[in-house]
Structure 1
Amino acid sequence: MAQIDAERIEEDLARGLRPAYLVHGDEPLGRLEAADAVRRAARAAGCEGREVIEADGAFDGAALAEAAASPGLFAARRLVELRLAAATLKAGARRVLEGWLAAPPPDAVLLVQAERLERRELGQAWVAAMARVGAVVQARTPARRELPGWVAARLRARGVEADAEAAARLAERVEGNLLAAAQEIERLALLHAGGRLGVEAVEGSVADSARFDVFALGEAVLAGDPARALRVLRRLREEGSEPTLVLWALAREVRLAAAIAYDVESGAAPAEALRRHGVWRSRERLVAGAARRRPAAWWRARLRECAEADRVIKGFAAGRPWQVLEAVAARAAGAALPG
């Protein structure tokens, strides 16, 4: 059974090309690089042809079945890419995939790409067959505490040794945006090839790639991270963001957490409550964690504070808008503040 982390796909490919790969996960950079690695290995192994099948929610497997039955016209071997847009597949598509994996066409390598598949889909027979016949490759977003190590390892692979402080500072500057981090690392590797990278070099040459939009503030609040919430808020102020827009994004997340917490306290299953309020799958863990961490009454109190901040921003109450926003955001993220 081949279950491979996307960071280790190159090592696996060095041992030989498998008949099929599933590349999935919630990290776009990891998916992109893993799929590119499979393509390079396929070309090196003689796959001169390439077919791409875009599979939306209505995909029934017919196009894949046709590709399996139709050998390449001009190439001895080919790479067939199936790009899944949905988190689950129809029964017909699953059967076609199972059939392909039961008897892989000798002239083709299959590359299935998907974002984070639902747990129910990962338990399907076609995924088990993929792990048995080929490989299931997961692109995982590193936790924030893992980012400095990820940065240092990536720099080291490009011939640059980074101080611990430099790696931590770079990780902070890109704020978990791995695509931006990869670009900065490539640039720093060119500037400091074969040398050491200190924090001064990072400060002097790295553009601030962490785009602190208003939604990042809400995410920090839901994650219960007051330090990050304040850092995002201060950057938004520096960038000239409108307080009204910032408060809207903050209140939106507080209102959502209050609603989910209330539904769960009223007897709804967390998954049902998340579906009822249209929470995207990629945000389910974040929102559910916030609702579980505090009761609905606590979140409603934070919502009342948002209403008071709105009065200050509009000039109906005394106070400085950004100072009030800082207090509201910090408290909503879990900081213990007076008042």
Structure 2
Amino acid sequence: MIRLYPEQLSVQLQQGLRGCYLFCGNDPLLLQESQDTIRHTAQRQGFTEYFSIILDGHTEWENIFTLCQARSLFACRQILLLIFPDSGLTTLMSQQLIRLTALLHPDILLLLRANKLTKAQQNSAWYKALSQNAVFVSCQTPDQTQLPRWINNRAQNMKLDIDAAAIPLLCHCYEGNLLALSQMLQKLSLLYPNGRLTLLHVEQMVNDVAHFTPYHWLDALLTGVSGRTWHILQKLQQEEEPPVILLRVLQPDLLLLLTLKRNMEQVPLCNLFEQHKVWQNRRNIMTEALQRLSLSQIQQAVHLLAQIEIELKHDYGQSIWSRLETLSMLLCGAALPESFLDVH
């Protein structure tokens, strides 16, 4: 199966329309734009009918199969979009998809949309059956490292020439919010029709509408970038994210760090990662944190986390944002007063 990003779709489509496109990710803008790009191309090739079905326990699969079998000399070419449930496919759905793959033909363009696919699903019979003539389009919101590439590609497609210094500012203000970022680039292109955007132009226009989850905060903590950590924490507080969720997100990784740190001198880190089932895409960031933080710092953070949880048990309604700020400072390497460093 071909794998690509949404901005690469146009080039692929010039090489020919495939029989199936699988959109996988959570970004509304990327999902919608990818679908629209393929639909417009397909319509020019005679795919004039469009059916969209959300899969659930009540899906009438026989109707879908009948749709695929209804071929005649005068039948229209059809686009069929199947939207997977957020919870993933059931065993029955997977079985029905296998049956569906056997019914596909050149007059049916199959589009599949899923928030994510597990490794098991990518090894499933239906996935393998589609792989020979399918394209996997990653529609995951670009993270901090990928966003500059996305902005550069977007700007080039819009014939915009953005100062290199302005791109980090756009990343800072719009991370996690591609729709708002796309709208801002469109606004800038209208205000500056010559396409030349300086840092000053961008500074005058941008708004801080970045959208973060507690997992962004966790990754910032592990990398130790204090400014980014502080920014994310402030945004989460402004958006009224329940602070207890941040504690629940941090706790397992912090306890894992403590275990790894205690054992990494006796056991190779790669073996510890395997033993504790640390996913491959998390190993670099965990290694970075282990190299940066001392055993004492990790112990202090665990102690402070336990203190915060005890305080919440006594008074669940109290604000713990200031304590989360202190915890963030500690994990980013800041020196704290003695009152915070008394580990029992």
| TM-score interval (norm. to shorter) | 0.7 to 0.9
| SS at 2:145 equivalent | helix
The answer to whether the aligner puts 1:209 opposite 2:205 as a matched pair is: no
Structure 2: stretches of 5+ with no match in the other structure: 264-271, 313-319, 339-344
In structure 1, what is the equivalent of residue 11 of structure 2? 11
* Partner in structure 2 of residue 139 of structure 1: 139
Equivalences for residues 3-152 of structure 1 within 5 A: 3-56=3-56, 62-70=62-70, 76-86=76-86, 88-152=88-152
Greater shift after overlay, 158-167 or 52-61? 52-61
Higher mean C-alpha deviation, range 3-12 or range 62-71: 62-71
Shifted more, 259-268 versus 294-303: the winner is 259-268
Q: Does residue 1:251 correspond to 2:250, yes or no?
A: no
After superposition, the CA RMSD in angstroms is: 4.2
Asked whether the 8 Å contact 1:25–1:138 carries over to 2, the reply is yes
Distance 1:88 1:117 in 2: 8
Distance 1:291 1:62 in 2: 51
User: The residue matched to 1:251 in structure 2 has which SS?
Assistant: helix
- How far apart are 1:229 and its partner, in Å? 1.0
Consecutive unaligned residues in structure 1, runs of 5 or more: 275-283, 314-320
Query: Taking every aligned residue pair, what percent have the same amino acid on both sides?
Result: 25
Q: Paired residue for 1:327?
A: 326
Q: How many residues align?
A: 317
> Secondary structure at 2:117's aligned position in 1?
coil
Q: Distance in 2 between matches of 1:120 and 1:174?
A: 34
The change in CA–CA distance for 1:5 and 1:232 in structure 2 (over 3 A counts) is closer
Q: 1:291 to 1:165 in 2, by over 3 A?
A: closer
1:56-87 per-position Cα deviation (integer Å, ceiling 9, x unaligned): 37869555324323459x96121111111156
Compared CA separation, residues 118 and 224, structure 1 to 2 (3 A): farther
Matching residue of 2:269: none
Deviates more, 1:127-136 or 1:107-116: 127-136
1:206-248 superposed Cα distances (whole Å, 9 cap, x missing partner): 12211467775455335544331122345567x5979xx65x4
Over 3 Å counting, the alpha-carbon distance change for 1:118 and 1:165 in structure 2 is: same
Return the letter of the residue paired with 2:325: E
CA separation in 2, counterparts of 1:269 and 1:211?
Answer: 34
Q: Give the direction of change, closer, same or farther, for the CA distance of 1:122–1:214 in structure 2 (3 Å limit).
A: closer
* Contact in 1 for aligned 2:155/2:162 (Cα 8 Å): yes
- Contact 1:173–1:208 (8 Å) recurs in 2: yes
| Shift in Å, 1:200 | 0.9
Distance in 2, Cα, partners of 1:298 & 1:197: 44
- Could you tell me how far 1:7 is from its partner in structure 2? 2.1
